[in-house]
A and B are shown apart, each in its own frame.
Chain A
Amino acid sequence: MSAALESPRRPPPALVAGGAITAAFILLALISRIWTPESPTRIHIALRLKPPLAAGLLGTDPFGRDVLSMLMAGTWTSLSTAFLAVALGLLLGVALGTAAAALRGRFEEAAMRSADVIFAFPALITAIMVTNIFGPGQATAVTAIGVFIIPVFARVARASALQIWARDYCLAARAAGKGRLAISLEHVIPNIAGTLLVQATIQLALAILIEAGLSFLGLGLPPPTPSWGRMLNDAQTFLDSAPWLAVAPGVAIALAVLGFNLLGDGLRDLFDPRRDRAP
């Protein structure tokens, strides 16, 4: 507490660490679009299953592909899927939640009940059902993950929006005859944006984890697009002969998730320094 009093402007350490890690991963994903050490899809059977440094920095996979290049390309796959999924969940969830807070009554009841039902389906299960219809792919992964996190945003948005609705300026705006939609857009959403940003950051971490699981099961982007999850699945077959294959993708997933989680914690500290608590 005394440290906070002495230098109120120093950013929370979690924010710095999380920001640095996430920035590094975003940069890595962007770089992978224009440059990787090797082509991540180039098959080179003569160089198959080489340990790290024997061929490339992180070795090669059963097809002789460069693991580092695949890892970099996989960063793009993972982050783009996660960002799209969170955008979907955020958009629909916030719409549902703020509408529930604005309209109350039957609509609120129905909206929150629907959120409960959606939440009964883990993203992986939704992915299985959606894959059954459309086959695997990025759209399937984005839909499954995005739908799964709608309830999270719906609940957070509704709870924070209800608090804003109880404030004086909202009451004043209503008394002045402003409509619910106008008040939601002008007063409610800008005031809950910070909370939503924190939640979005944390959900990005979750989305990266789920995407890894989906592609591990082959429910994510189909080959040859590299993805961390499928790299781990490939590694499983060669656990005896090429154990290094199981290390790098796992570390990448864990580090990326850690980065977004830390960033989320840091942002929360920034917006609400009194709370130094977990969720």
Chain B
Amino acid sequence: MLRLLLGRLGSFIVTLLAASVVVFILLDILPGDPAAILLGTSARPDTLAALHHQLGLDRPLILQYLAWIGGAFTGDFGTSITYGVPVSGLIADRLALTLPLALLAILISTSLALLLGVTAAANRDRAIDRAVQGFAQLGIAVPDFWIGLLLILLFSTSLNWFSAGGWSGWSAGAGKALAGLILPAIALALPQAGVLTRVTRAAVLDVLAEDFIRTARAKGLDRRTALWRHALPNALLPVVTILGLQVSFLVAGAVLVENVFSLPGLGRLAYLALSQRDLIVLRNVVMLLAAMVILANFIVDLLYLILDPRLRARS
């Protein structure tokens, strides 16, 4: 069991390091001289050299990489060129929005998907099953940022329930902050819910055909109890697998939806850093977003061990 855990942890760290190398190559090596990009073509050579030194670009690439990774361990991610503040603080601020947003979206999508998927499976081929399948198929097809636009159109422009622009932040109170995240979270959650509903339905149908469901029913358990207590826990494995894969889409969706709702989150920061050519911010935000995807898959690996006792034994 411990060896299994260490193995998973090891591959998590290796993947993380490999991703950081990819980010470094794509953002620091391939684009050319960041100082030149920053200063433009008309920059004087001595200004350029000074900036090189200030940014540490006069050091060998490997040292630049190590400085970045080393800094990351001490919480020093460098200073933003455009904002003039430490990147760590900038990221922490934005994470305080993006992380709750993502978690809220996952909460909405999984609870909706489990409810609909199990209901559809329990009523296989009946009207309610077809309705749920139609909803899922539609949910998968609709882009999250368009849902965002429609929600703004409906709730802010027409009904005036929420303000679409800006976010109050946590200092204005948790209730107000969460209320500002609900519409974007719904926009993010609906496509996820579509995918997860289909997976849940299929997984529950598979499990319902298993012998142990009949054993549970022969004990006297009613259909509902057998479904939720025996079928669902055994159907969660494929659902969790897909949920892990979906985090990648959640991250991309967050970039889009934060832009739609003008939310100051990591996604919007990444987008602004790109347009402002703030490479130091961009490098760290991109790495963080990739790390979130890798971390999610690591967590899924751990969840496997909790959900399936058979896997725990195989170590």
Interaction A to B: yes
Residues of chain A within 8 A (CB-CB) of B271 are 128, 217
Whole-angstrom distance between the alpha carbons of A62 and B120 in the complex? 44
Residues of chain B within 8 A (CB-CB) of A124 are 251-252, 255-256
Whole-angstrom distance between the alpha carbons of A24 and B201 in the complex? 30
Residues of chain A within 8 A (CB-CB) of B245 are 119
Whole-angstrom distance between the alpha carbons of A250 and B149 in the complex? 10
Interface bin, chain B? 35 or more
Q: At the interface, yes or no: A221 with Cβ under 8 Å from chain B?
A: no
Most buried by A among B140, B206, B294: B140
Please judge, given known A-B contacts A132-B274, A278-B198, whether A122 and B256 are in contact too, CB under 8 Å: no
The majority secondary structure among interface residues of chain B is helix
Whole-angstrom distance between the alpha carbons of A252 and B290 in the complex? 30
- Among B22, B152, B199, the residue within 8 A (CB) of A278 is B199
Residues of chain A within 8 A (CB-CB) of B157 are 239-240, 243
Q: At the interface, yes or no: B293 with Cβ under 8 Å from chain A?
A: yes
Q: Is there an interface contact between B146 and A253, defined as CB atoms closer than 8 Å?
A: yes
Q: Is there an interface contact between B149 and A209, defined as CB atoms closer than 8 Å?
A: no
- Among A117, A130, A257, the residue within 8 A (CB) of B15 is A117
- Nearest A residue to B277, CB-CB: A132
Q: Is there an interface contact between B255 and A243, defined as CB atoms closer than 8 Å?
A: no
Q: At the interface, yes or no: B90 with Cβ under 8 Å from chain A?
A: no
Q: Is there an interface contact between B31 and A120, defined as CB atoms closer than 8 Å?
A: no
Q: Is there an interface contact between A119 and B140, defined as CB atoms closer than 8 Å?
A: no
- Nearest B residue to A213, CB-CB: B256
Residues of chain A within 8 A (CB-CB) of B260 are 236
Q: Is there an interface contact between A119 and B293, defined as CB atoms closer than 8 Å?
A: yes
Q: Is there an interface contact between B252 and A122, defined as CB atoms closer than 8 Å?
A: yes
Most buried by A among B195, B249, B252, B253: B252
Tally of chain A residues near chain B (CB < 8 A): 43
Nearest Cβ in chain A — how far from B234, in angstroms?
A: 16
Q: Is there an interface contact between A133 and B146, defined as CB atoms closer than 8 Å?
A: no
Whole-angstrom distance between the alpha carbons of A279 and B259 in the complex? 30
- For window 1-59 of B, CB contacts with A under 8 Å fall at 11, 14-15, 18-19, 22-23, 26-27, 30-31
Please judge, given known A-B contacts A128-B271, A133-B26, whether A119 and B141 are in contact too, CB under 8 Å: no
Q: At the interface, yes or no: A38 with Cβ under 8 Å from chain B?
A: no
Q: At the interface, yes or no: B108 with Cβ under 8 Å from chain A?
A: no
- For window 177-212 of B, CB contacts with A under 8 Å fall at 195, 198-199, 201-202, 205-206
1/0 per position for A265-279, CB-CB distance to B under 8 A? 000000000000111
Whole-angstrom distance between the alpha carbons of A253 and B147 in the complex? 12
Q: At the interface, yes or no: B282 with Cβ under 8 Å from chain A?
A: yes
Please judge, given known A-B contacts A117-B19, A129-B26, whether A278 and B201 are in contact too, CB under 8 Å: yes
Q: Is there an interface contact between B140 and A121, defined as CB atoms closer than 8 Å?
A: no
Q: At the interface, yes or no: B221 with Cβ under 8 Å from chain A?
A: no
Q: Is there an interface contact between B252 and A239, defined as CB atoms closer than 8 Å?
A: no
Please judge, given known A-B contacts A129-B23, A258-B137, whether A250 and B290 are in contact too, CB under 8 Å: no
- Among A125, A133, A246, A250, the residue within 8 A (CB) of B251 is A125
Q: A116-B15, A125-B289, A217-B255 are in contact. List 12 more A-B contacts (CB 8 A).
A: A113-B11, A121-B22, A122-B249, A129-B26, A239-B149, A239-B152, A250-B149, A261-B137, A262-B137, A277-B205, A278-B201, A279-B202
Point out residues on B near A: beta carbons under 8 Å: 11, 14-15, 18-19, 22-23, 26-27, 30-31, 136-138, 140-143, 145-146, 149-150, 152-153, 157, 195, 198-199, 201-202, 205-206, 242, 245, 248-249, 251-253, 255-256, 259-260, 270-271, 274, 277, 279, 282, 286, 289-291, 293-294, 297
12 contacting pairs across A/B (C-beta < 8 A):
A116-B297, A120-B294, A128-B271, A132-B279, A216-B145, A217-B271, A232-B149, A254-B141, A258-B141, A261-B140, A262-B137, A279-B242
Point out residues on A near B: beta carbons under 8 Å: 113-114, 116-117, 119-125, 128-133, 205, 209-210, 212-213, 216-217, 232, 235-236, 239-240, 243, 246, 249-250, 253-255, 257-258, 261-262, 277-279
The 10 closest A-B pairs by CB, nearest first: A278-B198, A122-B252, A277-B202, A124-B252, A250-B146, A257-B141, A258-B141, A129-B26, A117-B18, A254-B141
